[in-house]
Structure 1
Amino acid sequence: MAGTRALGVVYPLLAVLDGRSVVWAGWVVFAWTVPTLLYIPAGALVDRWDPRLVLRWSEVLRGVAIASVVLALAWGRLDVWHLLAVAFFEAAFSVFSSLAETALISAIVRKKDIGNAMAVHESSVHIAVLTGRPLGGLLFGWMPVAPLFANLVLIGGFLTALRGLGGSFGSRDRAPLLQEIRRGITVVRGDAFLRVATWLTASTNMIFQALVIVFIASGVDHGTSPLVTGLVLAASGVGGLVGSLVAPRRGRVAAWLSRWTDRRPLVGKVTDHAGLTRRGRSTLVLHAWLWALSLALIASTDAPVFFAAGLVVMGAAGGLSNVTIKTVTSRSHPDLIARVTGFSRLVSYGASAVGPLFGSVLLMVLGVHLTVFALLGLTLLIASLVTWVRRLRRSLSPRWEAVSGHAGATEPSESRGAANDAVYEPQQVTV
């Protein structure tokens, strides 16, 4: 994964090698991002096949594409059209690889251990984000071909490790591809938790990308150095790593908070409504309120350190939510894991693409400070809706009974049991 992230930096740098126009860098990045549209059909195909085979062939073909660039550089004849084609196909194979990774975890890990496995996988994603791009730029500065060689080495090591992976995968029934795609979309739309969780995370992703544009604009106004800008924006990755590492332990944290608030009814009501304890437990509701808290912190000052602190909290909330969504999907729909994941990622990436445009429009109309408050208001609205609109809340906290006055009631049996299972299936308890 770190190698894939590095290529996101390397491709545009290769595009402007030998004095080519920076416009080509934009086209190469476009070619590298377009394959995200393949997530839905790729998910249907991955669900048909043995995920080990999908991983093996996807990585082999990625290696072939990258090796062709290495050879072209060695001969001194890297054509920009060649680079455009490699960027597109390598990214397309990466889509298949990422979906197959999630499906493989669901297939080989015991159901009770899926939460921990998904937390480890999510942690590796954030480590890749934090290390891949800086390493890609560093290696390219040393020698343009170096990050490509590094990718080939990583692919070779991964394929070697994959050969030793056991497990059996039976054949699966195959319906027409369009029918399988529709089934995956129908499952997300019909599952109350997945439907609300998908649109909640898409909304917050859009807000995050808008916030990045706001910070860059603010940095230009205040003369913030590029180094500080990069470090601040990396804070969300640090938070994501922290959130994914904490995810397997959040059941114990919720159990401790439940016992502590048993003797403090007023505090208990607050923690129940915020998604922290008892019948109100919900990682996604907590996600929304943590984002609201982060934006309130960012809106309070222009200091980059507070912006970084807010992004750390946002990243942690995102890491927790990602682990929860992946775990619930793996437990509830193991045969549809790639299709459901593909649909969710397409919606999420689509919202992320709209975010910068949304932020830019707000900046033109409102200016920096008012834009931050507008984003805070939107986040508070989202958090309020998932907290107090009963239908939405019960989708995320199935035992929520706020209307009948039970939220905040002492529930020692769940408090003790929560420590034994980090994530609950939505139809059983809470998530």
Structure 2
Amino acid sequence: MKVDSEPTPAVAAARPVGVWRQRNFQALWSAHTVSQFGTQITFFVIPVLALTTLSASTGQLGLISALETLPFLLVGLPAGALLDRWDRRRVMVTADIGRAVAIALLPIGHLAGLLSIPLLCAVGFAIGLFTVFFDIADQAFLPTVVSREQTPEGNSRLEFSRSAAELAGPSLGGLLLQSVTAPLILVVNAVSYLVSALLLGLVRLPRAEAPAPAPRAKTRMRTQIAEGLRFVFRHRTLRSLALATGTSNLVGLGGALGVVLTAFALRDLGLSPGELGLALTVGNCGALLGAVLSGRIVELVGLGRVLIAAKSMSGIAVVVLTTAAPTRAVPTLIAATGIMACGITVYNIAQVSLRQAVTPTGMLARMNASVRFAVWGTLPVGAMAGGYLASVIGTRPTLWLIAGIGLLSCLPLILTREVRTLRTFPAQPTE
């Protein structure tokens, strides 16, 4: 009796090539990693630049941060409708080039003696505008690069890179600030975006990924936007994820906490930029731990429980941070950052993969845009509110308020049975 030495097509189909061995994913992952490292350096340097070089107030820090995320409110929804018809890879390349040009204006302005708060605000808004298109395209692009079954693995690899960048970025930024002026460090970020664009150019997909014909009437655009919003907010799972994430973002690192943290660490606790960078670097080891263990944790505990527990960890971390004193500032900041980084990483891998799993391919960009509109739309509000409250009632009372709201952010997940009882990712999109 003859025994086949090669697997049948059915068996081969059941054994898809791992994401690490797929050239398209390798290019996407490389671009994502390079861009994330440059971005994390920028996130660390810009508020330090505003505080130390321009003597910015917490209110001005809030304004800068708010303008970086305001484009998600202004153009996020139409961007999603457009990206369901445009070539997502080309959009990401264009956005990378646009961000490189925008960030390069800061070192040029510094050398020309034109660096100012208005320039920081303008550059922040421009970077945010390009980031809207890049981020929505990025999350809609992954399921076309790998199979739907592999999207959790792909998201885990991308999240691992983001975590590694968060680990090394602040430390590298702090070290560079000891010898190089802050505006010149931003040249690194401009170069990273250009490298990311080149790497994305290596991704090659079938013709099915080509953009669909544009609609002929403006009403079609409004219809597509409305379809995306209805899909998200009528879908109980997506709605609960949007509410939970939007609430936590209001008071998170992109919102109120991001504004208050730098001022609290440098002014209230008396840390130097280098010490702050070191504390954030060590603490962000929690992000690497979360990225490595997220899949195993979901298998052991269940997806719903993991989402709820991971979402509550940010509030717990801010409680720890609020107890910091100058004599133990670094270890307290390390502990708080570690708890927060681990929770955010586990939650992001799980919730992004869940959103992709329950959404049909043709709705992915509009779903991402609608979710981003809801969850990123709270960022400028949180940044402005955090900066204002810190200037009126002080940074520590503002941190206590942030902690309380952060702990409540998991309520939409707890109250939604479809999320609370989930054991694993759905195999097919659900309407």
| Same topology, TM > 0.5 | yes
In structure 2, relative to structure 1, the CA distance for the partners of 1:224 and 1:69 (3 Å cut) is closer
Task: Say whether residues 1:105 and 2:142 are aligned partners.
Answer: yes
Task: Say whether residues 1:194 and 2:227 are aligned partners.
Answer: no
In structure 2, relative to structure 1, the CA distance for the partners of 1:342 and 1:124 (3 Å cut) is farther
Deviation at 1:318? Answer: 1.6
Task: Say whether residues 1:172 and 2:212 are aligned partners.
Answer: yes
Residue aligning to 1:123? 160
The structure with the larger Rg is: 1
Residue aligning to 1:332? 358
In structure 2, relative to structure 1, the CA distance for the partners of 1:218 and 1:68 (3 Å cut) is closer
**What pairs with 1:195-234 in structure 2 (closer than 5 Å)?**
195-208=239-252, 223=269, 225-226=271-272
Query: Which residue, out of 411, 414, 420, partners 1:397?
Result: 420
2:203 aligns to what SS in structure 1? Answer: coil
Counterparts of 1:102 and 1:324, CA distance in 2: 13
Task: Say whether residues 1:6 and 2:7 are aligned partners.
Answer: no
Deviation string 1:110-152 (CA, Å, 9 cap, x unpaired) is 1111101111212222333444455456546525664344234
| TM-score, normalised relative to structure 2 | 0.68
In structure 2, relative to structure 1, the CA distance for the partners of 1:386 and 1:62 (3 Å cut) is closer
Residue aligning to 1:249? 296
In structure 2, relative to structure 1, the CA distance for the partners of 1:107 and 1:358 (3 Å cut) is same
Deviation at 1:239? Answer: 2.7
2:84 aligns to what SS in structure 1? Answer: helix
Q: Is the 8 A contact 1:363 1:371 kept in 2?
A: no
Counterparts of 1:15 and 1:300, CA distance in 2: 26
Counterparts of 2:298 and 2:351, CA distance in 1: 15
Q: Is the 8 A contact 1:239 1:312 kept in 2?
A: yes
Residue aligning to 1:49? 86
Unaligned runs of 5+ in 1: 255-275, 400-417
Q: Is the 8 A contact 1:193 1:395 kept in 2?
A: yes
1:187 aligns to what SS in structure 2? Answer: helix
Deviation at 1:166? Answer: 1.6
Q: Is the 8 A contact 2:140 2:368 kept in 1?
A: no
Residue aligning to 1:348? 375
Q: Is the 8 A contact 2:169 2:281 kept in 1?
A: no
Counterparts of 2:281 and 2:167, CA distance in 1: 7
Counterparts of 2:271 and 2:391, CA distance in 1: 21
Deviation at 1:367? Answer: 10
1:166 aligns to what SS in structure 2? Answer: coil
In structure 2, relative to structure 1, the CA distance for the partners of 1:112 and 1:6 (3 Å cut) is same
Residue aligning to 1:413? none
Query: Which residue, out of 151, 154, 161, partners 2:199?
Result: 161
Q: Is the 8 A contact 1:328 1:426 kept in 2?
A: no
Counterparts of 1:315 and 1:152, CA distance in 2: 26
Q: Which moved more, 1:374-383 or 1:59-68?
A: 374-383
Opposite residue 185 of structure 1, the aligned amino acid is: L
Opposite residue 85 of structure 2, the aligned amino acid is: R
Residue aligning to 2:129? 92
Deviation string 1:312-347 (CA, Å, 9 cap, x unpaired) is 223212211111121122232233333322333343
Task: Say whether residues 1:322 and 2:348 are aligned partners.
Answer: yes
Opposite residue 151 of structure 2, the aligned amino acid is: I
| Percent identity over paired residues | 23
Deviation at 1:49? Answer: 0.9
Q: How many residues align?
A: 376
Higher relative contact order, chain-length normalized (CA < 8 Å, sep 6+): 2
In structure 2, relative to structure 1, the CA distance for the partners of 1:110 and 1:178 (3 Å cut) is same
Q: Is the 8 A contact 1:193 1:426 kept in 2?
A: no
In structure 2, relative to structure 1, the CA distance for the partners of 1:352 and 1:3 (3 Å cut) is same
Counterparts of 1:142 and 1:243, CA distance in 2: 33
In structure 2, relative to structure 1, the CA distance for the partners of 1:384 and 1:362 (3 Å cut) is farther
Q: Is the 8 A contact 2:317 2:339 kept in 1?
A: yes
Q: Is the 8 A contact 1:63 1:155 kept in 2?
A: yes
Deviation at 1:108? Answer: 0.9
Deviation at 1:36? Answer: 3.6
In structure 2, relative to structure 1, the CA distance for the partners of 1:115 and 1:55 (3 Å cut) is same
Query: Which residue, out of 48, 70, 78, partners 1:34?
Result: 70
Deviation at 1:94? Answer: 2.7
